[in-house]
Structure 1
Amino acid sequence: MKTRYRKQIPQKGQPTTGRGGFTLVETMIAMALGIVLLGTLYGILSFQDHSFHVQEENTDMIHNARSAMDLLFREIRMAGYHFNPLLKAAAGIIAADAQAIVFTQDLNGDGDTTGAGESITFALQTEGGIQKLMRTSGGASSPIAVYVEALAFRYWNDAGNELASPVASPDQIRKIGITLTTRSIHPDPGYPQNGGYRLYALTSQVFPRNTSP
C-alpha cells in the first residue's frame, strides 16, 4: 500500500523557510551604505592628498626664502672686499634703493673691480608672470628665489640714522636690513588671505665688512 504525501502550500502572510538571496529592499539598503562608505573614504583620501600638497608647497616656500636669504647675507657682507689691501680698488656699494642693490669687489687683487664676478646686482625681475629674485654678475643673470612676493632693503649710516632710498651716498652705508617674502606656488581654496597664497617672510641685518673708511 502506497503512502501519499501532500505538498503543503504556505498560506498568505506566512514566512517561507529555506529561501536564499536578498530582497530588493535589502539590496538597496546595502548599496546605499556602500555609496556612503565610498564617499567617506574618498573624502578622507582627498583631504589627505590636499594636506600633503599644501605641506609640500609650504616646505618649498620656506626653503626657497631661506636659501636666498643666506646667499644675500653672505655676499652683501663681502661688498667692497679687497683681496690685496695694498692695491685698494674703488670697491664697495655702488647703488642702493628699496628693491635693489649693486656692489663691487676686488676678488683677484689686481686693483680694479672689472674682473669676472666682481660686480654683483640683486634685484627683482618678472618672467612669465613669475616674480624672481635675480643675481646678476658679469652680464649673466640667474634666479636665486622664485615666486617672490616682495623684497625690501633698508640702509643705515655709522651714526645709526636710516638713509633715504635711493641712497644718495652709498659709501655711507654701514648696515643693511633685508626683508624677503616668498609665496606658495598655487592658491589654497581653503586659505582666505592673500588670494589663497600662503606667504613666508624673513628679515635679516647685514653689516658689510669692507665699507668702513
Structure 2
Amino acid sequence: MGHRDPLRGTGDDPGDLPQRDAASGLGHGHGPWPAPAGPAHDRHREHVLMRPSRLRSQDGFTLVEVLIAMSVFLLILLGVFQVFEPSNTAYQSSQRKLSVQQNGRIAMDMIVRQIRMAGAFPENFDANPANDLANGVQIATDTALAIAGDLDGSGASNAFLFCRDASGLRRVRGAIGNAASYTCGNGDILAESVTSLSFAYYDANNNPVPNPPTAPYQLDGQAPGAAPTFVTTTERAAVRRVVIKLTARETVPNQPAQTYTLNSDVRLRNP
C-alpha cells in the first residue's frame, strides 16, 4: 500500500485529483475564484480613467493672467532700457570724440613727416643736371603750405599742398608747377571736423618769417590757387622750421562741443 497524498484524491490515480467546487468556489487550496466584473464596476473604472483628461483640458492661463504677465514684462524691459540707454549714449559720444582725436593725430603725423622731407629731390642725384629741382618750400601762408620733393617714397618729386576748407583738412598731390596741384579743392580729405589750421615759420636763428608775423601773410607774396613763381624767394628760402597748429571740434548732441588742439614743431632736413 502506498502513502496517501493529502493533495491528491483517494488514490494515486490522477483522476482522483480534487476538482473545483463550483458552489464554494474552492479549488486547489488557492481561495475563492474572482467574481466577474459587473456594469457598476465598469462605469467606475471609466470615470477614473477619464478624470485626468478633464484635468488636462483645464491647464493654461486666462486672458487676464496673460495681460498682467505682459504688463510686468514691459515694465521690466522699460527699466532695463532706462538704465542702459545713458550708458550707450555716453559710449557713442566717447567713440566720436576718440575718432576725431585719432583722425587729427594721423593727419598731423602725415603733415609732419612730409614737411620734414621737403626739398628731397631724387632728380638732383642723377646724371642729368637739366632736370635738377629746387625750392622745397613752394607756397607758405598762415593757413596753407605747399612743399615739393619725393615726400611719399614714390621715387619722383611732386608738389604737396596742405590746406583746409569747409570739408576739413586736405592734402593735394600733383605735378610741380601745375596750378591744379596748388588748389585746395582738388585734395583728398585727411581729417574731418577740423575748424582751423595754421602755420608759423622760422629761420635758422629761430626768428619768425615774416618778422613780425602778423597774419594774414604770404611769404614772397605767393598764395594757393595758382602755380607759384620764384622770381623772389627770400622769405621762402629762409624757412628752416615750421610750427603747425590744428584744431578739431566735435559736436555731440545734448552735450557741450568738444575742442581739441594739436601742435607740432618740424625742422626741415633738406633746406
TM range (shorter): 0.5 to 0.7
Amino acid aligned to 1:101: L
Q: CA deviation at 1:80?
A: 1.0
**Shift of the alpha carbon at 1:208?**
0.8
Query: Aligned-pair distance for 1:69?
Result: 0.6
Show the counterpart of 2:5: none
Q: Which has the higher helix share?
A: 2
2:89 to 29, 39, 50: 50
Offset at residue 102 of structure 1 (A): 1.0
After superposition, what is the alpha-carbon deviation per residue over 1:113-136, rounded to whole angstroms, capped at 9, x for unaligned? Answer: xx965111111122xxxx311111
Give yes or no for contact 1:62–1:200 (8 Å, CA) kept in 2. yes
After TM superposition, the score normalised by the length of structure 1 is 0.68
**What value does the CA root-mean-square deviation take over the aligned residues?**
2.9
Deviations 1:63-111 (A, max 9, x none): 101110110001111111122347452231011111100111268xxxx
What residue number does 2:110 align with?
Answer: 71
Structure with bigger strand share is: 1
Task: Evaluate the alpha carbon distance shift between residue 94 and residue 74 of structure 1 in structure 2; reply closer, same or farther with a 3 A threshold.
Answer: same
For residue 134 of structure 2, what is the aligned residue in structure 1? 90
Residues 144-187 of structure 1 deviation map (CA, whole Å, 9 limit, x = unaligned): 11121111111111121112332231111111001112232xx3
1:16-60 Cα offsets, whole Å, 9 max, x none, are xxxxxxxxxxxx9xx7x9887555432221101101111110121
* Deviation for aligned residue 1:189: 3.8
CA distance in 2, matches of 1:91, 1:82: 10
Is the Cα contact below 8 Å between 1:122 and 1:134 reproduced in 2? yes
Unpaired segments of 5 or more residues in structure 1? 1-27, 108-114
Opposite residue 183 of structure 1, the aligned amino acid is R
Distance in 2 between residues matched to 1:54 and 1:189, nearest whole Å: 8
Residues 121 and 156, structure 2, Cα contact 8 Å, conserved in 1: no
Percent sequence identity is: 27
TM-score by length of 2: 0.54
| Deviates further, 48-57 or 158-167 | 158-167
Tell me the SS of whatever aligns to 1:149: strand
Q: Which moves more between the two structures, 81-90 or 167-176?
A: 81-90
Within-5 A mapping of 1:6-25: none
Structure 2 SS opposite 1:121: strand
Q: Which amino acid aligns with 2:260?
A: Y
**Is residue 102–residue 120 contact of structure 1 (8 Å, CA) maintained in 2?**
yes
Tell me the distance in 1 between the aligned counterparts of 2:157 and 2:144.
17
- Tell me how far apart the structure 2 counterparts of residues 46 and 106 of structure 1 sit (CA, whole Å): 51
Aligned to 2:172: 136
Greater relative contact order (Cα < 8 A, sep 6+)? 1
**Counterparts of 2:150 and 2:101 in 1: how far apart (Å)?**
33
* 1:40–1:156 distance in 2 versus 1, CA, 3 Å: same
Consecutive unaligned residues of structure 2, counting only runs of 5 or more, are 1-67, 175-179, 181-185, 221-234
Cα 1:43–1:171 change in 2 (3 A) is: same
After superposition, the Cα gap between the structure-2 partners of 1:145 and 1:188, relative to the gap in structure 1 and judged at 3 Å, is closer
| Partner of residue 188, structure 1 | 252
Please give the secondary structure, in 2, of the residue aligned with 1:80: coil
Q: Secondary structure at the match of 1:120?
A: strand
Instruction: Give 1:122's aligned amino acid.
Output: F
Q: Aligned with 1:179: secondary structure?
A: strand
Aligned residues between the structures: 168
Q: Among 137, 152, 157, which residue is 2:203 paired with?
A: 157
2-side partners of 1:39 and 1:159: how far apart? Answer: 67
Residue 199 (1) aligns with residue 259 (2) = yes
